[in-house]
A and B are shown apart, each in its own frame.
Chain A
Amino acid sequence: MKNSSIKTTAIEALWRENPSLTKLMGICPIIAVSSSVSTAIGLGLATLIVIITSNIIASVIRQQLNSVTRVPILIFIIATMVTALEMLMQVSFYELFELLGVFLPLIVVNHIVLMSAESNASQKSLSNSVLESFLTGLGFLLVLVLISSIRELIGNGSLFDNMEILFGSVAKEWVINPFGNDFQFRLLLMPPGALLVFGVVIAAKNTFSKKT
């Protein structure tokens, strides 16, 4: 793939055609775990890993698949990857594992993952499939980070709180409280707040896209 076309694909996947913002795919985890940046990054990275690994496997074995076996086997691969990730995460990120709770196994039914695996498994070569799945996962991660930053900043008055569950004790110092310690606007931390922020982000994206 040429450099210029990589750039176009990247803009397409991360912004213009971002599946979370344009097709509202996979919004269940976006609503549920976006109350703090740390859990959002955790789930975003987990989803990214699952998308990339299942895409690699799907693209390696795509010659063996036909229209009958493709979807069940892809779901099977994704479920295997999620289960493996779940066990590995418990080894070194146990707190994160507990915070993500049911949303970690729910990556299996995240439509973005299956969609990406299906479109790549059917026609693309290994390197293209890795690139595209990386961009898809990154797009999902970025939306999560964007929404969770807004929610944590306004809802809890902090940013990057509790990052030590991801990066170890060095990250304890990363938390910033730009509005002082007592600022809180709890509505945004509750589920309705997630929908409000999500709606505002989509509206902003639509307005911005129309202009350019």
Chain B
Amino acid sequence: MQNRFRGDRICILMFIISAIALLFWINISTEKQIEASYKRSIQAPLLNILGQVFKSDSIELNPYPIPKKFWPLLGFENQHYLNIAYQNSEAVALIIPATTQTGYSGEIKIIVAVSRDGQIIGVRILKHSETPGLGDKIDISTDDWILAFDGKSLSNTAEKSWTVRKDGGEFDQISGATITSKSVISKVFKALKYFEQDKVHLFGQTTPETDSL
């Protein structure tokens, strides 16, 4: 009886060892490729926004760690990276990530592309779980609402205008999803605020025009 169980144990042990060996081998042989496809999937939406303004094949993205004091402003609790877009080795735009919990259901992850002079190139929703048919209109695949941000900046839109029309703002509310629209608008505003405060670091030297804004 004891012998039979010993055989079982050895049998199971052999399986575990060979399975671990197999998975280990697959893991090390795919690790690099997985990292590359992860990077591609992260960068694809960013390049997609920038493609409206710049030729996307001449753009190079470089990650930059967001300083800790700005994490609460953007809604982060740990280290995140923004991307600086370079064209001909000159920084031309920033892609700022932000996240908000004040939507209707769960977290909304946003990216805001800002050009050197502080104008929004585009805003996209990376991830959300808003109600299908209502709140999900923030997503470009279902509605054009998000395009309303294009061209806005802190200088051409006053602070009190950064809300929905119902509250005296400049942006349409998505009908049936005012909470969602408001939280996205306020987060985009905060991303611009962050840009305003940190642009000296981000672009190295600021040009005279951007200083006067």
Report the 9 A-B pairs with minimum CB-CB distance, sorted nearest first. Answer: A94-B37, A186-B133, A80-B19, A91-B33, A90-B34, A69-B8, A87-B30, A94-B41, A186-B132
Shortest A73–chain B CB gap in Å is 5
Q: Give the size of the chain A interface in residues (CB under 8 angstroms).
A: 24
**Given pairs A84-B22, A91-B37, 13 additional interface contacts (CB within 8 A):** A66-B8, A73-B11, A73-B12, A77-B19, A80-B23, A84-B26, A87-B27, A87-B30, A90-B37, A92-B37, A95-B41, A184-B133, A186-B133
Docked Cα-Cα span, A83 to B34, in Å, equals: 14
* A80-B19, A91-B37, A95-B41 known; A68+B30 contact, CB < 8 A: no
Q: Is the CB of A88 within 8 A of B30?
A: yes
Check A72 for interface membership: any CB of B closer than 8 A: yes
A/B interface sample: 22 pairs, CB < 8 A: A66-B8, A68-B5, A68-B8, A69-B8, A69-B12, A73-B11, A73-B15, A76-B19, A77-B19, A80-B22, A87-B26, A87-B27, A87-B34, A88-B30, A90-B30, A90-B37, A90-B38, A94-B34, A94-B41, A98-B41, A189-B132, A190-B132
**Per-position 1/0 for B4-15, Cβ under 8 A of A:** 010010011001
What is the interface of chain A mostly: helix, strand, loop, or mixed? helix
Check B40 for interface membership: any CB of A closer than 8 A: yes
Chain B interface residue bracket vs A = 20 to 34
Check B140 for interface membership: any CB of A closer than 8 A: no
Check A64 for interface membership: any CB of B closer than 8 A: yes
